[in-house]
Structure 1
Amino acid sequence: MTATTADKAEIIKAHARGANDTGSPEVQVALLTARINALTPHFKAHLKDHHGRRGLLKLVNARKSLLAYLKSRDAERYTALIQKLGLRK
């Protein structure tokens, strides 16, 4: 299920770098991670939903691109975000 407005506001508040920050890579990656985590159980139950899986793969690739951008710009912020979100175990 998709995240509600309150859930998104909470994610933005937790990862924002400033008061009205919604566009930083940290916030974008956190929102994408929340969407990916919400969609994952659906694909475990519906193995043949290939059209929906394509959308999930697009989200994963967008997150991967943002993480690569952040890693090239500021490695410390990248490692902090990875640890905070629990990625790259």
Structure 2
Amino acid sequence: MYLSTEKKQEIFANQGFQKNPGDTGSAESQIALFTYRISHLTEHLKAHKHDYSTRLGLLKLVGKRRRLLNYLQQKDISRYRAIIADLNLRK
């Protein structure tokens, strides 16, 4: 896959609000990873407009990220606002 373990750890450390060094499953970490993958796929689709299978995968990722954001908004609004501000997401 295009995303190495080192790159994932860097994403989790920089944007994921890790609670401890091995924390990869928190909502913030997953949202940060999904955001990175979404931006990568968006760039790919700008060059390959007719790649419909990638477009479907992108839409599924956006839906997963949206569900995680909704969960985080219901559980802890301050964490939700922090991740939205940090990743420059809008709703």
Structure 2 equivalent of residue 33 of structure 1: 35
Q: Is the 8 A contact 1:32 1:59 kept in 2?
A: yes
Structure 2 equivalent of residue 6 of structure 1: 6
What TM-score, normalized to structure 1? 0.92
Name the CA distance, whole Å, in 2 between partners of 1:84 and 1:61: 20
Deviations 1:28-82 (A, max 9, x none): 0000001111111111111111111000000000000000000000000000001
CA RMSD of aligned residues (A): 1.5
Name the CA distance, whole Å, in 2 between partners of 1:48 and 1:88: 27
Letter aligned with residue 33 of structure 1: T
Q: Is the 8 A contact 2:41 2:54 kept in 1?
A: no
- More moved, 4-13 vs 76-85: 4-13
What is the percentage of aligned positions where both structures have the same residue?
A: 49
Letter aligned with residue 79 of structure 2: R
1:2 deviates by 2.8
Matched, 1:80 2:82: yes
Structure 2 equivalent of residue 60 of structure 1: 62
Name the CA distance, whole Å, in 1 between partners of 2:8 and 2:48: 26
Unpaired runs of 5+ residues, structure 1, are none
SS in structure 2 of the partner of residue 56 of structure 1: helix
Name the CA distance, whole Å, in 2 between partners of 1:74 and 1:17: 15
Name the CA distance, whole Å, in 2 between partners of 1:19 and 1:44: 35
